[in-house]
C-alpha cells in the first residue's frame, strides 16, 4: 500500500506533462519513426497559411486524426508510465519491472503473422515502423485492478497490418503471443503462470480503428517495461488485454486461450470490456485511482469509448460476457 501511494502523492505538474524538450524531441522521434503530421501537411498546403511559429507547436500538429487529443491535459507523467508496470514475466512487483526489464533484448525482433491469412509474413520492428504511418493516440488505460493512467501512445491501427495479410473468410479471432525468454525474465520461472502470455480479440474488435499496435510513448520508443518493441493497446478493455512484446499474431477460427482467463476464468473473461456495472468478484469496478492524482474517479463505461465500440456488442449480454 505504502508503495502504491508513491504515485498518488506525485502531483503532475503542468511542465511535467508537456515540457518544451518533449515537443522538440517528439518532432525528431516521430520523424524517425515515420510519423507524418497531417496538421503540418495541411498547414503547408493550405493557401494563405503562413509558417507556424515553433513556439506554438502543439500535440495537434502530430495527432492527424485528433483521436484522444481531448485527454491531453490529463496525461500521466512519463515517470509514472515507465515506473509503475504490470509485466509478470519479470516480476509481480510493479515498481521493480523497469529495473528487471532494463536489459531485455528487443533487437533484432520480429513478429510472425500467420494462420488464416492470404499473405502470412514476418515483420521486423523496422518493417512495422516504415510500412505503417505512425501516429499519436492519447488513450485512457484502465487496469482491472482499478487504477488508471492516460498514455500518449505512438503506433498504428492494427487493421492496417491485418489488411496487408488479408484474413480469409474463415478467420474469426486474432490470437497474440508475447515473447518468453526465461534467461532474461526473472518472473518467468516461478511456475505461477502458464506463460507465454497470450491474448485474443474477436476479428471485428481487432479491426476497430481504436485498436492499435504501439511502438512508442511520449517522445520515445517503448521501454522494455512497457512492452518493447511492439505491444497491443485496446483502450476500451481492461489493461491485461493489451499484451506486451508481441512475437506472434495468428488468425484463427475459435476463441483463443488467454492467460488471465486460463488462470481465473470466473474473474477474467475473454471480453474484459471496462464496465463499472460489473464488479470483479473481489472488488468494485465502479471507481478507479488515476495514477498521479489523489482520490478516486468514476470508471467510465467502455472506459469512455462506448460511442465508438458499442456497435460491436449489439445483442451481446455484457454481464454474462464480461
Which residues of this chain interact with Mo ion, rule CB under 5 A? 86, 143, 239-240
226 vs 275, beta carbon nearer ligand MTE: 226
Residues 6+ apart with CB under 8 A from 9: 294
DSSP string covering 296-321: -EEPPGGGGTHHHHGGGGTT--TTT-
Quote the least distance from Cβ 240 to ligand MTE, whole Å: 4
How many residues contact ligand MTE, by CB under 6 A?
A: 17
- Within 194-223, the residues that bind ligand MTE by CB under 6 A are 197
| Nearest-angstrom CA–CA distance, 54 and 21 | 12
Binding string to ligand MTE for residues 222 to 241, with x set by CB under 6 A, is what? ----xx-----------xx-
Instruction: Tell me which of Mo ion, ligand MTE, none is bound by residue 116, counting a contact when its beta carbon lies within the kind-specific cut-off of 5 to 8 angstroms.
Output: none
- Within 142-201, the residues that bind ligand MTE by CB under 6 A are 143, 178, 197
Helix (H) or strand (E) holding 201, with range, is strand 198-202
Of 134, 242, 250, 261, which lies in the binding site for ligand MTE, with binding defined by CB under 6 A? 242
| Nearest-angstrom CA–CA distance, 150 and 121 | 33
Please give the grid coordinates belonging to residue 45: 498546403
Instruction: Tell me which of Mo ion, ligand MTE, none is bound by residue 249, counting a contact when its beta carbon lies within the kind-specific cut-off of 5 to 8 angstroms.
Output: none
Quote the least distance from Cβ 116 to ligand MTE, whole Å: 24
The CA-atom distances, in angstroms, between 30 and each of 46, 59, 106, 125, 130 are 22, 12, 19, 15, 12
| Nearest-angstrom CA–CA distance, 212 and 207 | 9
Q: Are 240 and 86 in contact (CB under 8 A)?
A: yes
63 vs 91, beta carbon nearer ligand MTE: 91
Phi/psi at 172 (nearest 5 deg)?
-120, -25
208 vs 244, beta carbon nearer Mo ion: 244
Quote the least distance from Cβ 143 to Mo ion, whole Å: 3
Binding string to ligand MTE for residues 50 to 89, with x set by CB under 6 A, is what? -----------------------------------xxxxx
136 vs 242, beta carbon nearer ligand MTE: 242
DSSP string covering 212-268: EEEEEETTEEPPGGGTTT-EEE-TTB-GGGS--SEEEEEEESSPPP-HHHHH-TTT-
98 vs 171, beta carbon nearer ligand MTE: 98
Binding region for ligand MTE (CB under 6 A)? 85-89, 141, 143, 178, 197, 226-227, 239-240, 242-245
Amino acid at each position: 500500500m505504502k508503495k502504491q501511494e508513491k504515485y498518488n502523492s506525485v502531483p503532475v505538474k503542468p511542465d511535467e506533462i508537456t515540457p518544451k524538450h518533449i515537443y522538440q524531441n517528439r518532432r525528431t522521434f516521430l520523424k524517425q519513426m515515420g510519423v507524418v503530421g497531417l496538421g503540418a501537411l495541411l498547414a503547408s498546403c493550405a493557401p494563405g497559411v503562413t509558417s507556424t511559429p515553433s513556439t506554438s507547436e502543439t500535440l495537434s500538429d502530430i495527432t492527424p486524426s485528433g483521436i484522444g487529443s481531448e485527454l491531453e491535459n490529463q496525461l500521466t507523467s512519463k515517470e509514472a508510465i515507465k515506473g509503475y508496470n504490470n509485466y509478470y514475466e519479470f516480476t509481480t512487483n510493479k515498481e521493480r519491472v523497469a529495473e528487471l526489464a532494463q536489459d531485455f533484448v528487443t533487437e533484432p525482433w520480429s513478429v510472425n503473422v500467420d494462420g488464416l491469412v492470404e499473405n502470412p509474413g514476418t515483420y521486423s520492428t523496422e518493417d512495422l515502423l516504415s510500412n505503417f504511418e505512425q501516429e499519436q493516440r492519447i488513450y485512457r488505460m484502465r487496469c482491472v485492478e482499478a487504477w488508471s493512467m492516460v498514455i500518449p501512445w505512438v503506433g498504428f491501427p492494427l487493421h492496417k497490418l491485418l489488411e496487408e495479410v488479408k484474413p480469409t473468410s474463415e478467420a474469426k479471432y486474432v490470437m497474440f503471443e508475447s515473447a518468453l525468454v526465461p534467461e532474461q525474465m526473472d518472473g518467468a520461472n516461478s511456475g505461477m503462470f502458464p506463460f507465454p502470455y497470450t491474448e485474443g480479440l474477436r476479428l471485428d474488435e481487432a479491426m476497430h480503428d481504436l485498436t492499435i499496435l504501439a511502438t512508442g510513448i511520449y517522445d520515445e520508443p517503448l521501454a522494455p517495461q512497457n512492452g518493447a518493441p511492439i505491444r497491443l493497446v485496446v483502450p476500451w478493455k481492461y489493461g491485461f488485454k493489451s499484451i506486451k512484446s508481441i512475437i506472434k499474431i495468428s488468425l484463427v477460427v475459435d476463441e483463443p486461450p488467454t492467460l488471465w482467463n486460463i488462470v481465473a476464468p470466473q474473474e477474467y473473461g475473454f471480453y474484459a470490456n471496462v464496465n463499472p456495472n460489473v464488479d470483479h468478484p473481489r472488488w468494485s469496478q465502479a471507481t478507479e485511482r488515476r495514477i498521479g492524482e489523489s482520490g478516486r474517479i468514476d470508471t467510465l463505461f467502455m472506459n469512455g469509448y462506448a460511442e465508438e465500440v458499442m456497435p460491436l456488442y449489439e445483442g451481446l449480454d455484457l454481464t454474462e460476457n464480461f
